[in-house]
Structure 1
Amino acid sequence: MCEPAERKQTIQVQVNVTNSHGGKLRFKLCTKGRLNRPVKQSCFDEYPLTIGGRNSKVVQLTTPYGSSEVLNLSVKLPFGITCKHCVLQMTNTAKEFEPSAVMFRNCADIAIKGTAKTSMAGGPPLEQPPSAFDLHTRSGFGSGYEEQKQYRFYD
């Protein structure tokens, strides 16, 4: 069961761009995921995530087309969300192919575990809650899941 709250916690996300097409990256979270089951885009649209330190929901890719780049980003999760299976989505809206709208999407199955620690039993959360979470993905190498596929979407 996923439980939203007002505060936010930050996780570190590493993006390995192997062949830049420029454009912007966006991250979204679907809290209603089920293993090996597709989720609807409307689920992701419930939780667009903010990039820490930028106060923005987008990151601009800056490397030249065809180049590689590794980005280390802080992504703010909605505080209090816990789930055995959520899906983290990254969308790259590529600039190289304009005026066509070309997107590359990647998803990772994740689990977010919360903490029961509060400032008093049954009371409000601590001012600085621990950033405890577990991350599991089926898009990693050797994970036993099928290869992830990329699709192009044109308007």
Structure 2
Amino acid sequence: NMNMILSIIFFLTSCVISISGHGYLLEPVARSTAWLVDQSFRPCCTYSNHMEMFCGGITHQWSTHGGKCGICGEPYDKANKLFEKGGAMYTGKIVKTYTQGQQIDVTVVLTANHKGYFEFRLCNLDSNPNSEATQECLDRGILKMAGTDSTKWRDVDKYGSETIKIRVQLPSNVACRHCVFQWKYTTGNNWGTDPATGQSGSGMGIENETFMGCSDISIVANGSPVETLPPVIVTTNSPVKPGNPQTTTTTTTTTTPRPSGGLTTWSSSNVLYKVGHTVSYDGVKYLCVHDHTSFVGAEPGPLTWAWWKRID
């Protein structure tokens, strides 16, 4: 009948949409994306697939591992996770420092919108600085959206493929030298059935594609009481390297001011591009949407959505 035909068409459309989406945590910048904004990460940690931290894909995540995922978005069963402690691209470098109890601005970049919702979590590693965060620790530290009692940000479907800023409330009782901040995006484009109601539709089941990102941050105490922490139980399957997290170091970089005037040809020679600048690259015009300094490999295109938007 017609209802069945429409349901099949909707299901197939959802499948097509669901394979095209990508996203990443830009601020505080995720371990897998840090090379985009901090040149000190580029020699060790340039990762072109940083928009694909989706737990190995929906089938692998749910059919094989019952929904489990690495804390930074790598497949749960990956033997040596690149971005967890002991991994080849793990540094532990603190990328952002906040204040206890602060309302923080979090930036997420989506290159395709899957509906669904965002969640943010925090794990304090100070009680065991040689350990990695665990999902259990992160789940105990789920954060609320600023000014609300909600732990889910559900306005994803109001946006397109763009940069999204969300204000998140840090706990009033947490200060840390090294905390892991986690972004989790549970999409809403996959066909499923709600186990409670039996109703079927896009995003109604529990098996939805998931994107993750994890960042290393510090939270400075403001004099308020701070919680007493139990030790973090290490469950990561990556070898753990002893030592404390690195702190942000100052790097001196010589930048070249962008030539004045209108449209210019993009340059990789440490040119400072600011929001509103326009460039031409490979015959295509781009608009700068985020201040940054150029470098070889950061040319405008699909991998640099955080900086450039195609305008023709």
Shorter-chain TM-score category? Answer: 0.5 to 0.7
Alignment of 1:118-137 (within 5 A): none
2:169 matches 1:62: no
- How far the C-alpha of 1:52 sits from its partner, in A, is 1.0
Aligned residue type for 1:47:
G
Q: Which runs of 5+ in 1 are unaligned?
A: 1-6, 119-123, 125-134, 143-155
Counterpart CA distance in 2 for 1:22 and 1:36 is 37
Aligned length: 114
2:149 matches 1:42: no
Counterpart CA distance in 2 for 1:31 and 1:49 is 13
Q: Which runs of 5+ in 2 are unaligned?
A: 1-99, 193-206, 226-246, 249-291, 294-312
Q: CA RMSD in A?
A: 3.2
2:182 matches 1:75: no
Q: What whole-Å deviation, never above 9, does each CA across 1:61-96 have from its counterpart, x for those lacking one?
A: 1147xx413222211111131111101111111111
Q: What whole-Å deviation, never above 9, does each CA across 1:127-146 have from its counterpart, x for those lacking one?
A: xxxxxxxx97xxxx99xxxx
Aligned residue type for 2:134:
K
Check the 8 A contact 1:35/1:109 in 2, yes or no. no
Counterpart CA distance in 1 for 2:213 and 2:163 is 15
Counterpart CA distance in 1 for 2:129 and 2:114 is 30
- How far the C-alpha of 1:38 sits from its partner, in A, is 3.8
Counterpart CA distance in 2 for 1:21 and 1:35 is 36
- How far the C-alpha of 1:115 sits from its partner, in A, is 3.0
Instruction: Looking at secondary structure, tell me which structure has more strand per residue.
Output: 1
Counterpart CA distance in 1 for 2:117 and 2:191 is 13
SS in 2 for 1:59: coil
- How far the C-alpha of 1:11 sits from its partner, in A, is 1.4
- The structure whose RCO (Cα within 8 Å, separation 6+) is larger is 1
Look up the match of 1:111: 218
Check the 8 A contact 2:121/2:143 in 1, yes or no. yes
SS in 2 for 1:44: helix
SS in 1 for 2:153: strand
- How far the C-alpha of 1:39 sits from its partner, in A, is 2.1
Moved over 6 A (4+): 33-36
2:106 matches 1:13: yes
Give the percent of matched residue pairs that are identical in Structure 1 and Structure 2: 30
Look up the match of 2:28: none
Counterpart CA distance in 2 for 1:96 and 1:72 is 21
- CA shift in 2, pair 1:98/1:86, >3 Å: farther
Counterpart CA distance in 2 for 1:74 and 1:101 is 24
2:182 matches 1:89: yes
Whose Rg is larger? 2
Aligned residue type for 1:81:
V
Instruction: Looking at secondary structure, tell me which structure has more helix per residue.
Output: 2
